[in-house]
């Protein structure tokens, strides 16, 4: 545990590592996109506007130049018709003197140049000189070629061609737009700076919150954010301070709990490691996660290494499957089982070792089985003493059975002799006492022998697949006349579903006969009800009476051997003990419930339901 703590990074180290990471302020994250967006929008807007304005201005310029050329055409039309060369050349010379005119030409109807003026070295391009061209054509930067017809009476008598120079116009227009764009760019930059400044002022309280956070990460849980921004950030800071205060309390509580848990863990470890019983823990998949000591001659280290397979190998043949069955029941039913008798074979001397095992589930937060915990107590010596005691009880009971049978025969013979001598009526009360006590003694001996067989494991199940309803029906038919002698009504409420289970028919018959006999013994008036039903994955049988009930202090004790409600109660008090042992042999359980004296009692038996 200490090594794991050393590997854990402390809060100051975390804070230090966080400082090393590259950071960009929020104000810059907001200002940069604003600047870039504004510049792009301005660029697109100015570019589109420039193109639109440029197109409109150029279209208007072309129209104006064409109009000038058309006016000039009207001027030279008369001299061309009259073939007045002097006037024609004078008009051409006048036109060529315009500052925006580069070259002027006049053609007749046959395309022959009849006059022209060329103030510079430039000349009209071929696409303008071409005889079929009429209109305006841009032939270079700031240079336009214009060709218009000279018409008289709807007949073209010639053509005027003029090369105009509009030098500096487009450049001037472009300069105007560039100046406006640069000015807008400066305004965008100012806007971005304003956005960054406003953002910085807005997030300034957050910087204080960040500083407080870093102090807390450095280990100072007393640090608090003092922010007075009168907005949501102040609410956030107050909530943050409250969270830190609660975190501090939680940390103190967690620290105290951790110390208590470590102390408890140390005590638990000492307890487990020094316990006289064997304690181990398995996962539902069978992985061994805890073992406190050596077991059955095997060293603890090897058992932990080999796991469940070695634990199964330790068991005797008749005990191995029982261990697996109970482990699966704990896993599936999430139920605790106690005092499971198991037998191991010692690894060294091959002697038999007897254990009483308790198995219980450990559940997680989702109520699923996380572990299966087992506690095994070595009862080998107790088992040997128990075997000696059981053997002595069986021997004594067997030895008593023979003289009791002879005594019963003697009473019967004596009764016949009295009847032959006509003295039966005189000694009838004595004969009746003798017969009842002989019968009671014989039943006592039989019960003791049956109980001894069950507890010693000598009674073997003859397990078959059966319907428990058939057993209950037979028991009720046989017990109904006995209950009728006391004027008790035997009521049946059997499940309509098939009560499928695996068991010994005769033992189950004996179990429910004992329960109904017990109810009949203590119930003076009313009824005895036998009810069966299927509850989840089990069969539940209830035998309920209207008798005197059971005190709460006696609920658990009535299944112990030789326990009777009163000393005057008939029987020797082993009927319920035999019923309990029969139920255990069938992997079931039996218990009693009573609301108190005078309110009757209910005995409940539960068996696992056989899969169809």
DSSP 543-590: EEE-SS---GGGTTGGGSTT--SSTTSSS-S-HHHHHHHHHHHTT-EE
185 or 287: which carries more pLDDT confidence? 287
486 or 439: which carries more pLDDT confidence? 486
Task: Supply the pLDDT for residue 225.
Answer: 81
Structure tokens at 164: 């105009």
What region, left, alpha or beta, does residue 21 occupy, with left being phi > 0 and alpha being psi -120 to 50 degrees?
beta
Residue 205 has pLDDT above 60, yes or no: yes
Task: Supply the pLDDT for residue 153.
Answer: 82
Task: Supply the pLDDT for residue 404.
Answer: 64
Task: Supply the pLDDT for residue 461.
Answer: 59
Beta strand 489-493 pairing with 527-535 = parallel
On whether the CB atoms of residues 491 and 457 are closer than 8 A, the answer is: no
Predicted confidence band at 15 (pLDDT cuts at 50, 70, 90)? very low
User: By percentage, how much of the chain surpasses pLDDT 70?
Assistant: 76
Backbone φ and ψ for 350, nearest 5 degrees, come out as 60, 25
26 or 243: which carries more pLDDT confidence? 243
CA distances (Å), 235 to each of 184, 227, 241, 247, in order?
40, 9, 10, 18
Q: For the segment 26-80, what is each residue's pLDDT rounded down to a tens digit? A: 666 666 776 777 777 777 777 777 677 777 777 787 888 889 888 888 888 888 8
23 or 492: which carries more pLDDT confidence? 492
For the ranges 187-196, 211-220, 224-233, the one whose mean pLDDT is highest: 211-220
What region, left, alpha or beta, does residue 339 occupy, with left being phi > 0 and alpha being psi -120 to 50 degrees?
left
Does the domain at residues 461-608 carry the CATH identifier 3.30.565.10? yes
Task: Supply the pLDDT for residue 387.
Answer: 65
Predicted confidence band at 189 (pLDDT cuts at 50, 70, 90)? confident
Residue 180 has pLDDT above 60, yes or no: yes
Predicted confidence band at 479 (pLDDT cuts at 50, 70, 90)? confident
Q: What is the DSSP letter of 184?
A: H
- CA angle 466-467-468, nearest 5°? 110
Q: For the segment 562-597, what is each residue's pLDDT rounded down to a tens digit? A: 445 544 445 445 677 777 878 887 888 888 888 878
Give 447's Cβ-side CA count (13 Å radius).
19
Nearest one of 101, 97, 147 to 122, comparing CA atoms: 101
Mean pLDDT value of segment 487-498: 87
Name the CATH architecture for the domain at 275-377. 2-Layer Sandwich (3.30)
Which string of b and e fits 275-302 if b means at least 16 CB within 10 Å? Answer: eebbbbbbebeeebeebbbebbebeeee
CA distances (Å), 446 to each of 350, 399, 482, in order?
36, 12, 21
Could you list the beta-strand ranges (E) of 314-433.
337-345, 352-363, 369-378
User: By percentage, how much of the chain surpasses pLDDT 90?
Assistant: 0
Predicted confidence band at 128 (pLDDT cuts at 50, 70, 90)? low
Task: Report the range of poorest mean pLDDT among 200-209, 311-320, 451-460, 581-590.
Answer: 451-460
190 or 391: which carries more pLDDT confidence? 190
Task: Supply the pLDDT for residue 307.
Answer: 87
357 or 454: which carries more pLDDT confidence? 357
Residue 250 has pLDDT above 70, yes or no: yes
Q: Which residues contact 528 (CB under 8 A, 6 or more apart)?
A: 483, 488, 489, 490, 491, 516, 519, 520, 543, 544, 545, 546
Nearest one of 282, 301, 281 to 293, comparing CA atoms: 301
Task: Supply the pLDDT for residue 14.
Answer: 46
Residue 115 has pLDDT above 70, yes or no: yes
Mean pLDDT value of segment 384-411: 64
Give me the residue label for tokens 């087992």.
374
Residue 357 has pLDDT above 70, yes or no: yes
Mean pLDDT value of segment 470-498: 87
Residue 475 has pLDDT above 60, yes or no: yes
Backbone φ and ψ for 543, nearest 5 degrees, come out as -115, 110
On whether the CB atoms of residues 308 and 296 are closer than 8 A, the answer is: no
* Residues facing residue 527 across a β-bridge: 489
C-alpha 531/C-alpha 566 separation (Å) is 28
Task: Supply the pLDDT for residue 568.
Answer: 41
Q: What is the DSSP letter of 489?
A: E
pTM: predicted TM-score of the whole model, two decimal places: 0.38
Q: What is the CATH number of domain 80-170?
A: 3.30.450.20
Q: For the segment 425-452, what is each residue's pLDDT rounded down to a tens digit? A: 776 777 777 766 666 566 666 656 555 5
Beta strand 589-593 pairing with 101-108 = unpaired
Sheet containing strand 352-363, strands side by side = 288-291, 278-282, 369-378, 352-363, 337-345
Residue 369 has pLDDT above 60, yes or no: yes
Task: Report the range of poorest mean pLDDT among 150-154, 236-240, 415-419.
Answer: 415-419
């Amino acid at each position: 545990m200490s090594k794991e703590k050393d590997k854990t990074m402390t809060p100051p180290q975390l804070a230090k590592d966080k400082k090393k990471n590259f950071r960009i302020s929020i104000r810059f994250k907001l200002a940069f996109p604003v600047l870039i967006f504004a510049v792009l929008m301005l660029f697109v807007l100015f570019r589109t506007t420039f193109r639109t304005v440029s197109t409109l201005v150029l279209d208007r310029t072309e129209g104006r130049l064409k109009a000038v050329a058309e006016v000039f055409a009207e001027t030279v039309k008369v001299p061309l018709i009259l073939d007045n060369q002097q006037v024609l050349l004078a008009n051409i010379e006048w036109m060529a003197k315009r500052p925006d005119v580069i070259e002027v030409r006049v053609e007749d109807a046959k395309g022959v140049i009849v006059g022209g003026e060329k103030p510079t070295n430039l000349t009209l391009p071929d696409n303008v000189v071409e005889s079929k061209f009429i209109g305006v054509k841009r032939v270079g930067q700031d240079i336009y070629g214009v060709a218009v017809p000279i018409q008289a009476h709807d007949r073209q008598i010639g053509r005027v061609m003029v090369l105009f120079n509009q030098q500096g116009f487009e450049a001037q227009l472009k300069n105007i737009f560039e100046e406006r764009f640069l000015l807008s760019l400066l305004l965008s930059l100012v806007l971005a700076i304003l956005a960054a400044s406003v953002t910085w002022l807005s997030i300034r309280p957050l910087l204080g919150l960040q500083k407080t956070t870093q102090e807390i990460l450095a280990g100072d849980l007393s640090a608090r954010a003092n922010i007075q921004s009168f907005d949501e950030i102040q609410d956030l800071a107050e909530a943050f301070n409250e969270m830190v205060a609660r975190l501090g309390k939680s940390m103190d509580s967690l620290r105290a709990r951790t110390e208590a848990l470590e102390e408890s863990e140390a005590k638990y470890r000492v307890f487990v490691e020094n316990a006289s019983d064997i304690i181990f823990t398995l996962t539902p998949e069978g992985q061994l996660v805890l073992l406190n000591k050596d077991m059955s001659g095997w060293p603890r280290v090897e058992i932990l290494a080999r796991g469940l397979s070695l634990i199964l190998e330790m068991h005797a043949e008749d005990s191995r499957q029982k261990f697996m069955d109970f482990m699966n029941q704990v896993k599936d039913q999430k139920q605790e089982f106690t005092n499971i008798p198991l037998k191991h074979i010692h690894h060294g001397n091959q002697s038999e070792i007897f254990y009483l095992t308790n198995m219980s589930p450990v559940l997680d937060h989702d109520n699923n089985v996380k572990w299966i915990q087992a506690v095994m107590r070595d009862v080998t010596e107790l088992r040997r003493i128990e075997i000696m005691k059981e053997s002595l009880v069986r021997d004594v009971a067997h030895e008593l059975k023979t003289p009791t049978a002879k005594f019963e025969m003697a009473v019967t013979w004596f009764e016949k002799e009295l009847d032959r001598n006509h003295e039966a009526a005189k000694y009838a009360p004595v004969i009746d006492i003798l017969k009842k006590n002989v019968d009671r003694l014989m039943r006592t001996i039989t019960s003791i022998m049956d109980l001894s067989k069950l507890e010693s494991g000598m009674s073997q199940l003859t397990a078959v697949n059966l319907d428990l309803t058939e057993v209950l029906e037979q028991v009720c038919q046989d017990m109904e006349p006995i209950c009728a002698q006391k004027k008790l009504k035997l009521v049946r409420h059997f499940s309509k579903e098939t009560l499928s289970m695996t068991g010994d028919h005769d033992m189950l018959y004996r179990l429910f006969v004992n329960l109904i006999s017990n109810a009949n013994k203590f119930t003076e008036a009313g009824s005895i009800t036998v009810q069966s039903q299927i509850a989840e994955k089990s069969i539940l049988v209830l035998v309920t009476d209207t008798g005197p009930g059971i005190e709460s202090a006696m609920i658990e004790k009535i299944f112990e051997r030789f326990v009777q409600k009163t000393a005057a109660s008939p029987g020797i008090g082993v009927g319920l003990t035999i019923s309990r042992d029969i139920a255990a042999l069938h992997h079931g359980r039996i218990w009693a419930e009573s609301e108190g004296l005078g309110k009757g009692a209910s005995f409940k038996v539960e068996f696992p339901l056989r899969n169809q």
